[in-house]
Amino acid sequence: MTKVITKEDLLSWLRQLAEKYAIIAPVTSNGVTLYKSVGSSEIDKINLNFSKTELSPKNWFFPPSETLFTIVKDELPRIIPASVDREAILFGLRPCDAKGIALIDKAFLAEPADVFYQEKRDKTTLIGLACLSPCLECFCTSVGGGPADLTHLDILLTETAEGYITQATTEKGKQLLTGAPRQEKEIIPPVLPSLNLILAEGITELMPRVFNDAYWDRVADRCIHCNICAYVCPCCYCFDIRDYVSKGKIERVRSWESCQSPGFTRLAGGYDPRPTKGAHFRQRWYHKLLYFPPIFGDIKCTGCGRCVRSCPVNIDIREIITDVQRMKV
């Protein structure tokens, strides 16, 4: 017997949860599906049949911009740290996106933890939706994930004709599920889709050998150095910090930044350690495939395929990995 929740019950449960929690869920409007905050009266707007959101759910923990603290000019300067007022439920994550969050955790929660990230992370429960019809550009199974991988989720829902199979993996998830109106049913779980495989194994060992290859310059010819790949990526986390100064108030603001933007490594005086298009371009792949793995144990890619889909000039990480494998000397 399996515990399932019907679609109607799921929505009314979410409606009920929305009274206490902030609900962040996929909503489609203007032709794009994005994770948005939905109130209890807006639960019907949640898109349960999306394939993949345009932007990843990292936005909830690592927003495009956030104020880290504010200094107000009083008799004595006061520092007001930013804080999260409500517990949240991030609903409808694909397992690949949950892995993206787990990868950012490694960098942001390592000591000393990023308190702004940690606060939001601690106050959020992750409810995933198994991915039964992956996109053609997806390759999660090649990088250690899977369409129904529940490793990084609190709860996983898998859609069947009878309703959603519910699985809780953490204490947080189990507790939340106790309030859900579920039924015991005899259910055959759906067959999980198989995905195209690429040979990502051993890529970290190969990367140092091809660092100076002309290959990077040739692929960079095509790159237009926008920030799309980094901003749609569920595990890219570079940022920039500036102060907004206005009368009597200073706000320290953190915003997304990307290794592909023109001034990323430009130093005072104008020197840039990554002076060429190729060197600039190469950084993205070396961070993902070589620099991150030895420190945090995984390559920094979830196989979600967003960068593949959104790149204006078809720079395809699957092709890059395959090309590097072929360059093996």
Partner 1 sequence: MIEEIRNKAKELLETKTVDCVIGYEPATDNLTSRPVFIYEPSQVNRLIFDETCVHNLSKYLINRRYKPTGIVAKPCDTRGINLLLNEKQLRRENLFIIGVVCSGIRKVRFNQIENSMPTKCQYCSQHTPVIYDFLVGEPVTEAPTHNYSDITEIENMSPAQRKAFWSEHFDRCIRCYGCRQVCAGCYCYECFGDELDPLWVGIRIAPGENWVWNTVRAFHLSARCIACGECEHICPVNIPLMLVNRKLEKDTLHLFDFEPGIDTEIVPPFATYKKEDKLGTGE
Applying CB under 8 A, the residues found at the interface with partner 1 are: 30-32, 34, 54-55, 64-65, 135-137, 218, 221-222, 224-228, 231-232, 240, 242, 244, 253, 255-258, 261-263, 277, 308-314, 316, 318-319
Q: What is the largest CA-CA distance in the chain?
A: 69
Considering the complex, state which of residue 170 and residue 227 has its C-beta at the smaller distance from partner 1: 227
In whole angstroms, give the CA distance from residue 205 to residue 329.
12
Q: How far is the CB of 219 from partner 1 (least distance, A)?
A: 10
Task: Closer to partner 1 by CB, 187 or 279: give it.
Answer: 279
The 10 Å Cβ neighbour count of residue 179 is 10
Q: Can you tell me the distance from the alpha carbon of 279 to that of 273, in angstroms, rounded to the nearest whole number?
A: 9
Q: Which is nearer to partner 1, 168 or 324 (CB)?
A: 324
Per-residue tokens: 142: 């090649």
User: From the CB of 277, what's the least distance to partner 1, in Å?
Assistant: 7
Joined together, the tokens standing for residue 83 give 């804080």
For residue 14, the minimal CB distance to partner 1 (Å) is 23
* Shortest Cβ 319–partner 1 spacing (Å): 5
CA atoms within 13 A on the CB side of 156: 19
* Cα distance from N-terminal residue to C-terminal residue, the chain: 54
Q: Which is nearer to partner 1, 32 or 110 (CB)?
A: 32
Query: What does the alpha-carbon distance between residue 56 and residue 35 come to, in Å, rounded to a whole number?
Result: 8
Closest distance of CB 140 from partner 1, Å: 17
CB nearer to partner 1: pick between 49 and 175:
49
| Cβ nearer to partner 1, comparing 211 with 244 | 244
Question: Could you give the CA distance from residue 241 to residue 235 in angstroms, rounded to a whole number?
Answer: 19
Q: Please, what is the angle between helix 215-222 and helix 277-286, to 10°?
A: 100
| Cβ distance to partner 1 smaller for residue 169 or 310 | 310
- Contact criterion met (CB below 8 Å) for 299 and 269: no
Query: Closest distance between partner 1 and the C-beta of residue 243, in Å?
Result: 10
Strand partners, 78: 72
Residue 231: both structure tokens together:
């901003």
Minimum Å gap between C-beta 144 and partner 1 is 22
